[in-house]
Amino acid sequence: MLLILFLSSFFSLILGAALIHYSHLHEHFSADHDLAGVQKFHAKPVPRVGGVPVMVGLVIGVGVLFYLTRSWLPVFLVLASLPAFGAGLIEDMTKKIGPAPRLLATFLAAALAYFLLDAGLSRLDIPVIDQVLSQFWILALLLTIVAVGGVAHAVNIIDGYNGLSGVVAIFIFLAMAYVAFKVQDAELMGICFAMIGAIAGLLFWNFPRGLIFAGDGGAYLVGFMIAEVSILLVQRHASVSPWFPLLCVIYPVFETMFSMYRRKFLQNRAIGYPDALHLHQIIYKRVVLWMVGSKDAGHLTQRNSLTSPYLWALSSFSVVPAMLFWNNTPILIGFVVVFMFTYVRLYRMIIRFRTPRWLMLRKTPHA
């Protein structure tokens, strides 16, 4: 496992360095030059093709895992991920692939994994629903497709601030690696370590300096792998509660669901309407008051990076209990409810300017 971790992180790190060093050769199509949109907050155009180092690191790690185990499961899983990764990468380079085509590509990837690996959601530990899913495979397939697409899209939603989605994803993969170890599933544990290494290699360049972003390709790849490893853990091991992976990913998933509710019922807008009211964005605007008003690129980057630890802490409040109670469905459900309540309460406090003073981070340009 240490060899997989080292090699995947090393190749991801080296390729990331090469993409940054030679950015002048590809930034005309790989960088995000639109800095004026409502969801834009970076000081200068930065390459969005960080998904390439992540994929390369994953492939290297899976190659080592195949050599050690002779299992085709990791190989087929990487092959199944190609539609999701490819659609995101094309968007990163052309800026012409909308959310719907990317989501459909992820649905296709989930269907491929379902038929290649039998990676399907056939139980939720809810008796009536479990009985229906076991009798009608088409319903299990549809639920799987929606779940995988939803998780991939949710990871993409929280991507943007330096280190935010990358560290959250590493938290999740560490929790799943721990559970894979507990149930003695070397294949899934190896995939988790390959993903941890691949993401860590990119994070070296992404946090705190923001020299390269994962982009849609990286976000959809990471989200797809999180969803598929989750499904395979539950499908292959009856002792693993299906609420374990849900609690692991509840932060990005509930962020997405709450945003849909907010836009549809509170703002009377389309659920896909872009805005700057995600939790990480309002923390950036109203909690991290670091050098506010400064136009210096270094100050903007530092403020960007100081936002992410708030969300890392929030994510850990779900990932740690998930890891501790991975086989106890009632307790996991309770923590899911507690997290959703905590998220809404925190959001309301910040949006109403009632953030506790000890959470505020201040520094004025003249301090």
Binding-site residues for Mg(2+) sit at 156, 216
3-class SS string, the chain: CHHHHHHHHHHHHHHHHHHHHCHHHHHHHHECCCCCCCCCCCCCCCECCCHHHHHHHHHHHHHHHHHHHCCCHHHHHHHHHHHHHHHHHHHHHHCCCCHHHHHHHHHHHHHHHHHHHCCCCCCCCCHHHHHHHHHCHHHHHHHHHHHHHHHHHHHHHCCCCCCHHHHHHHHHHHHHHHHHHHCCCHHHHHHHHHHHHHHHHHHHHHCCCCCCCCHHHHHHHHHHHHHHHHHHHHHHCCCCCCHHHHHHCHHHHHHHHHHHHHHHHHCCCCCCCCCCCCHHHHHHHHCEEECCCCCCHHHHHHHHHHHHHHHHHHHHHHHHHHHHCCCCHHHHHHHHHHHHHHHHHHHHHHHCCCCCHHHCEEECCCC
CB atoms within 10 A of CB 241: 26
Q: How far apart are CA 233 and CA 185, in angstroms?
A: 8
Annotated binding site: 156, 216
Closest CA to 51 of 276, 274, 221, 191: 221
Asked if 4 and 58 touch (Cβ cutoff 8 Å), the reply is no
Phi, psi for 289 (deg, rounded to 5): -95, 60
